[in-house]
Structure 1
Amino acid sequence: MDASQPHDAATDSGQPSPAEKFSATHKRGERGPDEMIWQGGYSAIDQSGSFFILGLITIGLIASCFFLPPMIIISLIAIPILWVVQLIRVWWIKMGVAYELTNRRFIHESGVINRTTDRIEVIDVDDVTIEQGIMDRMFNVGTIKITSSDRTHPELRLRGIKDVRKVALMIDDARQAERDRRGVYIESV
């Protein structure tokens, strides 16, 4: 055999080479590009409880100025600082989270300075749970908990999701469609 020409032992046995298998799969159209189903991030509406409490603190500080005149200086300093810190906190959370659901993968990106991207195959998703508090239900936001057989994130919490029920149903539908496409069926125990 000539060393200048690559030779695959699989072609001698009548079996297609890995390169031929790969190109044949793409010819049949089985593995095209991922189709986007949903894309989103953290909704600041999830912080409505924090803003409500901050509003009560602001009202309390303003009211204290009428009874204790020295509180005017403290209130003039504390109120803007509290609101700016809360707005920066919400902006930081919002900028640090991005989600993408395709027909085959759930992609979770986190971090503002250092970005981490994690992918979970939708076929590996075992359960989708919705968690909502009273304020969350009022504003139609919530947390989606994804339980999967993925090693890096067996349990992933997606906080601050707007239209939480709709998004959870999309994740569940994508999981079922991928299982149907691959012929994977889970029996009840």
Structure 2
Amino acid sequence: MDASNPNDAAIDPAEKNVEDQSPQEKFTAGRKRGERGPDEKIWSGGYSAVDQSGSFIVLTLITVGLIVGGIFLWPILLAIPVLWIGQLIRVWWIKMGVSYELTTRRFMHEHGVIKRTTDRIEVIDIDDVTVEQGILDRMFNVGTIRITSSDRTHPELRIPGIKDVKKVALMMDDARQAERDRRGVYIESV
């Protein structure tokens, strides 16, 4: 074998004819073709406080009512800062308690502030992605994504407070379809 002659170079096992390959070479060649490498992050996010816009509007109306009532009974005005601080702590607690990440293969959601739980749903297991938005949600471009999947732990998962909800839902649907195409899984109508 002459090193200067490119035709005499060693043949790559993946380039051999299928008949000439050992079972191990067939397995590793097939795995290399089907693999895409590590997970690639598509999107990550958390709870958007804008989702609480309705609560803040109601709290503002209550505040106005308390101010009017404070004209006749001034100690009632002390409830205003307590209500607002309570609402801000509530929103902070919700915001700190959830995070989401969508990769090319998985959707991961973490929840909890004191005790943190991380759950994963394989993207290929997602059956349906639905967007739910109220009138205020549409005004502020937030909403809830409802995922229906064949995952045993979360057959239906609601993800509230997502900013740019339609864009994120489309990314989830695209990732699901790309993973099914990559694995050669096709769903037929029943």
Q: Same fold (TM over 0.5)?
A: yes
> Which amino acid is the alignment partner of residue 39 of structure 2?
D
Contact 2:147/2:157 (<8 A) preserved: yes
Q: TM-score, normalised by structure 2?
A: 0.83
> Does residue 1:50 correspond to 2:50, yes or no?
no
> Which amino acid is the alignment partner of residue 73 of structure 1?
P
Check 1:52–1:127 CA distance in 2 against 1; reply closer, same or farther (3 A cut): same
> Does residue 1:36 correspond to 2:74, yes or no?
no
Question: Partner residue of 1:72?
Answer: 74
> Which amino acid is the alignment partner of residue 141 of structure 1?
V
Alignment partners' CA distance in 1, 2:168 and 2:108: 14
Question: Partner residue of 1:126?
Answer: 127
Contact 1:131/1:145 (<8 A) preserved: yes
Alignment partners' CA distance in 2, 1:91 and 1:57: 21
What are the Cα deviations for residues 28-59 of structure 1, in whole angstroms up to 9, with x where unaligned?
A: 57151100000000000000000000000000
Contact 1:44/1:160 (<8 A) preserved: yes
Q: How far off its partner does 1:74 sit?
A: 1.8
Instruction: Please list, as runs of the form range in 1=range in 2, the aligned pairs for 1:148-167 lying within 5 A after superposition.
Output: 148-167=149-168
Alignment partners' CA distance in 2, 1:184 and 1:27: 18
> Which amino acid is the alignment partner of residue 133 of structure 1?
G
Q: TM-score, normalised by structure 1?
A: 0.84
Question: Partner residue of 2:148?
Answer: 147
Q: How far off its partner does 1:182 sit?
A: 0.3
Question: Partner residue of 2:13?
Answer: none
What RMSD over aligned residues (CA atoms) do the two structures have, in Å? 1.9
Check 1:122–1:130 CA distance in 2 against 1; reply closer, same or farther (3 A cut): same
Instruction: Please list, as runs of the form range in 1=range in 2, the aligned pairs for 1:99-138 lying within 5 A after superposition.
Output: 99-138=100-139
Contact 2:70/2:76 (<8 A) preserved: no
For structure 1, the 5+ residue unaligned runs are 1-13
The DSSP-based 3-state class of the residue aligned with 1:106 is strand
For structure 2, the 5+ residue unaligned runs are 1-21
What are the Cα deviations for residues 77-116 of structure 1, in whole angstroms up to 9, with x where unaligned?
A: 2000000000000000000000000000000100001000
Where has structure 1 moved over 4 Å in runs of 4 or more? 23-29
Check 1:28–1:179 CA distance in 2 against 1; reply closer, same or farther (3 A cut): closer
> Which amino acid is the alignment partner of residue 179 of structure 1?
R
Q: How far off its partner does 1:73 sit?
A: 1.2
Contact 1:26/1:32 (<8 A) preserved: no
- The percent of aligned pairs where both chains have the same amino acid is 76
Question: Partner residue of 1:177?
Answer: 178
Q: How far off its partner does 1:26 sit?
A: 6.8
Check 1:123–1:29 CA distance in 2 against 1; reply closer, same or farther (3 A cut): closer
Alignment partners' CA distance in 2, 1:176 and 1:152: 22
Alignment partners' CA distance in 1, 2:97 and 2:106: 20
